[in-house]
A and B are shown apart, each in its own frame.
Chain A
Amino acid sequence: MTDSRPVLTMTGISKSFPGVRALHNVDFRLLPGEVHALMGENGAGKSTLIKVLTGVYGIDEGTVTLDGEQVAFNGPMQAAAAGVSTVYQEVNLCPNLSVAENIFIGREPRRLGAIPWGEVRRRARQLLARLDLDIDVTAPVGSFSLAVQQMVAIARAIDVQARVLILDEPTSSLDAGEVAQLFRIMRQLRDEGIAILFVTHFLDQVYGIADRITVLRNGALVGEYPIAELPQLALVEKMIGKELDVLELMEEHPRQSVTATEGGSPLVQVSQLGRRGSVAPFSLTINAGEVVGLAGLLGSGRTEVARLLFGADRADRGEVRVDGARTGLRNPVQAIEQGIGFCSENRRAEGIIADLSVRENMILAMQAARGWLRPIPRRRQDELVDRYIKALSIRPANPEMPVRNLSGGNQQKVLLARWLITEPRLLILDEPTRGIDIGAKAEIQKLVVQLSDGGMAVLFISAELEEVLRLSHRIVVMRDRQLVAQLDNDDTVDADRVMQTIASGTEREEASR
């Protein structure tokens, strides 16, 4: 493979934005028939490099050559026409249009100015068959799962005779089975000679599929390596630039011991709580100082459980007791009054208010709990905000900066701080580490451990089993919108066993309590 000529080379690329040097003298090359992972922390310049390549941004310095010819695209469409197609993390399709139309819109075949729909549908079916996807091409794209939409976006991308396919974090909202499906397609396209540029935060996925890795750090090239010559730990070191102590700490942190919370008093007791069409009735007890991990595939009902516990959705049956007293969690305000906090999965849409400052975002929940007629004095605000900016090492440490200017990991920390300020007794974290870089991830994980040591109960939801296993005292497994098992996280529990439970749904007997 390495002897073939690069289909794409970027040489000496520099790009600055006012006040920021996003890329500095970066070289990058892509060979035909390889999957090439572009790695780096948030803010390392991965997105900028892709945007420079596809013409979303202009280039300050440096050259791009495609098949030996120098090119400068003026936008994604021109890039796609030249054979460089991009599929973004947020699927960019029109949900109201049919699958077939989404694949072809903008370059539909035409007969005397009219679109021959029969031919469009036929070609769409052919193309999807190549991706082994058998779906109704006349149904609107919005009626399918994100994973299928992702595949449709890929089908659209490869239809233009793509030679370079850029996948920008395609897996961040897919579950394990869907990722496997995507990888199968990626391998197939690779074998057809397409060069694939793959950006992801999931290290194990890189080692599952990539042939070579290019690492960026702070807008500069660290190096390009064949996958075999760069073990995982070395990769992380290169991305972070130092042997990160938190990371070490994270690796060595002993698993939470079950016995530690044996004596903890039940904080929240849920019996037969359910909501039709959302989650089947379930019972669950969460003790003070306990971390309960919620595992399960995407769409298995994890988020729905969290929303019921927070009163964001109203349960239509069952009861909740907090400190033994029966309480109705009919809306978030009541939940906050009971000391329950909720960091939502979708931090852009449901959590962070991008135009408000770090400080304003942080005090939001506390202010809501106090009632809007009793504003928190500014001195008190500044005190609190400073404390949490330090405690969570939020960067840049500027409380008045609009949150939109922060990286994903730091936004997540602001959201965490918002709830920590209210000093909740139960904190629900829904995918707190998704899509953020490994340093921030380790810090958030460390924080969860500290919080539970301090007596706070945490309900920790994550698609990454490793993480759930590392942090939780107890693991609750969801499957098909049912709570199928509760496992004490002792020595007998490992990723395989949890996977099996998720897959089979039978683990009730010895583990439930």
Chain B
Amino acid sequence: MLSVFKKIWSFSIKEKNNLQKSIVVGFLNAIFNAFLVAALYVVLKAIVENSVSTTTAWTAFGIMVVSIVGKIITQYFSQLQRTHAGYFMVADKRIDIGEKLKSVPMGYFNQNSLGQITAIETTILNDVESAVPVVLVTTLGGFLNSLVFALFILIFDWRMGVITLLGIAIFLLITSAMEKKSRQGVPARQEAQATLVETVLEMIQGMSVVKAFDLDNNLDKKVDRAIEESFNKNEKLEKEMTPYVAMQQLVLYVFGVALMFCAITSYINGTMELTNSLIMVVCSFMVYEQLKVAGSCVANMRIAEHSIDKANKIDDVPIMDEGGNDIVPPTTEIKFEHVDFAYEKKKILDNVSFTIPEKKMTAIVGPSGSGKTTLCSLISRFWDVDAGSVSIGGVNVKDYTLNSLMKNVSMVFQNVYLFADTIENNIKFGKAGATHEEVVEAAKRACCHEFIMALPDGYDTRIGEGGASLSGGEKQRISIARALIKDAAIVIFDEATANVDPENEDRLQKAIEELTKDKTVIMIAHRLKTVRNAEKILVLNNGKIAQEGKHDELIRKAGIYADFVNGRKEAIGWKLGRQ
């Protein structure tokens, strides 16, 4: 229980103040709650002394009114502070993450990592948001209430007070033992859960194959087994927890009875007045009431703790140090000098040096996995090199601020990402404040004007959920328009025309060639025509520049490039049909 509070505490960076206040006010709330003991005392005393009068009735009523009003006011403030703490600590965390993402090396992002971050940002933090206030209100509130009761009793009669506190202490001990046990059992359960996720995913994705080949359904068996295993582990964990839960409850009951018994014996052996003894008997029923409720919120505590742990995983995401100056590069010549780069211990670029000439087209070719995309992402500093340097216009990319670097580089990615917004705004994303005419101009150059006009709302058509569904090629072309409107001096195309229909490919190709009049264009490509017209061709193989030069030079030498060209010619001449 305490560990959860500790976690919440360290999670609530800016909200600590509110939490503190809430605890103090919560304490007051508990005191007002304990007022009802005073009301009981007044009445019991009057009964025992046989002096019940309307004054007794009014006094009791007055005390109760004070107690209720006090509780309402303190509850109002403590609850609000806790709610604020709960929601805003999560909001702060989200903002932190958003801030952090700005300096995460872009290469870190892939489907997997993006999925994880999204999950943390939405599901997991939503859980924190809903579980933390409950934990704070119920568990912390319950704990405070019982504590205040114990302190009251302590003042009243120290022996009883000690017994009450002892009960709380043992309750906490059992709770922490339970948490420990639960932590032991949880990994096995999580493992079963992970297997379940994996097999269910495999089942869903593989179902088409199973059906297409009418396979025996042993996939079913595998999933069934995983479901069974998840069932077993869940049940086992629950069974292991049950004795602890029972012990928790039992301890409180035992101490309740002990309090009652002590109150009786104290009265009988004359060390306590009858009134006090009676009030203790009454109290013995209510002292732990709230703690019991707190104990029953273990599930929420587990969720809170677990979610906070998961959310904190975001700290493992690497960040890139930024800084640098706002620099306008004198030229846009790009230079790689002895660049090494490894990703997850796998060497991707190995001592690579070359120059990309200004205002010309450079093509990068090479087998898949040879490091073409990585090479491009080093130019826009999506990653930092491990050794060597990348410079634009003679200035190391690390010396630019990200903003000034990005001003000069425009990229078309292999995986197109468009926002759930209008087409116009998606294109405008490349240049804030662009006019409609500029957007149309870019769209025309990227060969998307025609299909956009054919859509019901034209440029105002929304893309994505509830909007128009575009084909891969159409999305690709919009992303090209977005890159064109940015009008950066360096444009990088990463297999940008791969998804485009042949009908548009040709026009697109011409538009790209047009660009090289005043821009430095870098293209990862496999199309012979593109490659052939390039000012410079870089042939990448196994992380090294295997060949570089112009088409006419390279084609004459035996080597990867010549093989590539021949392979392409063969592929292009290929026909399906009767042979």
Say whether A and B bind each other.
no
A-side residues, CB < 8 A to B, are none
